């Protein structure tokens, strides 16, 4: 079964037993009422019902009076007890307040979001923006003609799915419209959604799982400043530590004091060690120290934060190549993942960054950040189509646990739910 069928497949037909049962329940049996029921019997039934209801009311009133009497007596005893206890123990009142607040906190636990709820929440702006434009588009057209396809292509580009994706999709829809002899726009609504899903699905090879190792797993993070790279590392450190892993961080963006301080603060916050070097130190030397410590201390996951000076590509390329050589000197098959952090709110600019970084260093995966605050989540489709770099991590929001492994099925459901 394909991704589209799993997400938006037809509902199952009801079983024949359920249809028969429903028909029997709705069958009108009013004609089979016993004609022998006389008016006297009906009256006697009504009187019995009235008597039972009256006795119930009487019992309720009696109970209420008893409760009121008890309530009138209780306060006197309570006040006396409180006065005696306060005299004997003046700290009692404070301890009672503390205990009551603890009880209240225990009684109202925070409801933890499911993964799908996080996708639905973070993709709300993208889904509503895309859905509103698509609905308005179908409302404006009464027939399928060349203007229809031109406007559709423009709409898809505005939704940040990328020029290539928009062009390919429009061409495929032209073919489908001729094949099915579609005259009305609504006939193509489901086909559009189906094609979007197929574009992401491709050959069904998503490669979304992170390549964890039995021993040390080395993750290298690249990306321009301000995209949420360091924050993502900190949140992941918290996540993996919660799973029982031994985690260590390396601050290799040594030319920006703020980056080192930020990563050190995350290390303090989530209680994991951070390897740093002196100011303006050679990033590769800091990475070497981190690699040796990770091996010596039996670390499970080592995450390395690097500089993101894309405006000086030659220097950055040389720096990343040197870091790569140093990593392989200690662990030949590392880094096991090279993540590019992209800010989803930058839309097509994120796609440009991905293209540029892929020229500088081999990338194995994308970390998509800040998707909850933007309507440009469609950029995931553009990255998939134009670069074929899998998104493996996604940031859902600002909370410390708002990061998780990317799941295309959850993503497409969160993006397109309600549009069909």
- Assigned token pair, 416: 């397109």
Q: Which whole number is the average pLDDT over 41-57?
A: 47
Answer whether 230's CB lies under 8 Å from 369's CB.
no
pTM, full prediction: 0.68
130, burial (CB in 10 Å: exposed 0-12, middle 13-18, buried 19+):
buried
Ranges for all domains in the chain classified under CATH 3.40.50.300:
217-416
Phi, psi of 299 (to 5 degrees): -70, 145
Alpha carbon separation from 196 to 176, 191, 205, 352, 385 (Å, rounded): 14, 9, 16, 21, 11
- Mean of per-residue pLDDT scores for the chain: 75
Alpha carbon separation from 212 to 26, 178, 322 (Å, rounded): 58, 48, 23
Percent of the chain with pLDDT over 70: 67
Q: Does domain 117-201 have CATH number 1.20.120.140?
A: yes
Show Cβ contacts of residue 406 under 8 Å, excluding neighbours closer than 6 positions: 208, 368, 390, 391, 392, 393, 394
Answer whether 406's CB lies under 8 Å from 414's CB.
no
pLDDT tens-digit profile of 181-219?
Answer: 777 777 777 777 777 777 766 666 667 789 999 999 999
pLDDT tens-digit profile of 318-340?
Answer: 899 999 999 999 999 999 999 99
Residue of 232 and 18 predicted with greater confidence: 232
DSSP structure class, residue 361: S
Cα 127 to Cα 137: distance, rounded to the nearest angstrom: 15
pLDDT tens-digit profile of 284-297?
Answer: 999 999 999 999 99
pLDDT at 68: 46
pLDDT tens-digit profile of 67-79?
Answer: 444 444 444 434 3
Ranges for all domains in the chain classified under CATH 1.20.120.140:
117-201
Answer whether 359's CB lies under 8 Å from 320's CB.
no
- Angle 375-381-384 (CA atoms, 0-180°, nearest 5)? 140
pLDDT at 73: 42
* CATH number for region 217-416: 3.40.50.300
Q: How confident is the model at residue 417 (pLDDT cuts 50, 70, 90)?
A: low
Handedness of CA 148, 152, 153, 158 (dihedral sign): positive
**Per the omega criterion (within 30 degrees of 0), is the bond before 107 cis?**
no
Q: What is the dihedral of CA 232, 233, 234, 240, to 10 degrees?
A: 110
Cα 338 to Cα 169: distance, rounded to the nearest angstrom: 31
pLDDT above 80: residue 39 = no
Q: What is the dihedral of CA 257, 258, 263, 265, to 10 degrees?
A: 110
Q: How confident is the model at residue 222 (pLDDT cuts 50, 70, 90)?
A: very high
Instruction: Return the biggest CA–CA distance within the chain.
Output: 104
Cα 338 to Cα 320: distance, rounded to the nearest angstrom: 11
pLDDT above 50: residue 363 = yes
* Residue 282, helix vs strand vs coil: coil
- Strands, sheet with 217-222, edge to edge from the N-terminal-most edge strand: 274-275, 247-251, 301-305, 217-222, 337-343, 365-369, 391-395, 403-405
């Amino acid at each position: 079964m394909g991704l589209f069928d799993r997400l938006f497949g037809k509902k199952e037909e009801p079983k024949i037993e359920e249809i028969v049962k429903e028909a029997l329940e709705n069958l009108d049996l009013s004609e089979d009422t016993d004609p022998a029921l006389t008016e006297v019997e009906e009256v006697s039934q009504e009187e019995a019902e009235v008597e039972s209801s009256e006795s119930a009311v009487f019992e309720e009133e009696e109970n209420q009076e008893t409760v009121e009497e008890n309530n009138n007596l209780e306060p006197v005893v309570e006040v006396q007890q409180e006065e005696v206890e306060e005299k004997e123990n003046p700290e009692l009142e404070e301890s009672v307040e503390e205990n009551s607040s603890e009880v209240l906190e225990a009684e109202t636990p925070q409801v933890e979001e499911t993964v799908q709820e996080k996708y639905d929440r973070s993709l709300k702006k993208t889904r509503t923006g895309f859905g509103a434009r698509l609905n308005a588009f179908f409302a404006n057209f009464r027939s399928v003609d060349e203007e229809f396809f031109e406007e559709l292509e423009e709409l898809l580009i505005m939704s940040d799915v990328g020029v290539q994706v928009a062009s390919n999709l429009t061409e495929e829809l032209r073919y489908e419209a001729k094949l099915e002899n579609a005259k009305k726009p609504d006939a193509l609504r489901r086909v559009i959604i189906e094609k979007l899903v197929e574009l992401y699905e491709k050959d069904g090879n998503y490669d979304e799982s992170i390549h964890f190792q039995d021993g040390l797993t080395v993750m290298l993070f690249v990306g321009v400043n301000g995209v949420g790279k360091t924050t993502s590392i900190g949140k992941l450190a918290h996540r993996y530590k919660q799973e029982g892993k031994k985690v260590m961080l390396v601050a290799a963006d040594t030319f920006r004091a703020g980056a080192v301080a930020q990563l050190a603060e995350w290390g303090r916050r989530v209680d994991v060690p951070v390897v740093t070097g002196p100011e303006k130190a050679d990033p590769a030397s800091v990475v070497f120290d981190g690699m040796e410590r990770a091996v010596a201390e039996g670390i499970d996951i080592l995450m390395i934060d690097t500089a993101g000076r894309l405006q000086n590509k030659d220097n950055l390329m040389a720096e990343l190549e040197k870091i790569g050589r140093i990593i392989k000197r200690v662990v030949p098959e590392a880094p096991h993942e090279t993540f590019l952090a992209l800010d989803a709110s930058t839309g097509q600019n994120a796609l440009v960054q991905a293209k540029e970084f892929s020229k500088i260093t081999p990338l194995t995966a994308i970390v998509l950040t800040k998707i909850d605050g933007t309507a440009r989540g469609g950029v995931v489709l553009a990255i998939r189509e134009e670069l074929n770099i899998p998104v493996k991590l996604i940031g859902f929001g600002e909370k410390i646990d708002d990061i998780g492994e990317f799941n295309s099925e959850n993503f497409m459901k969160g993006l397109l739910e309600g549009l069909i």
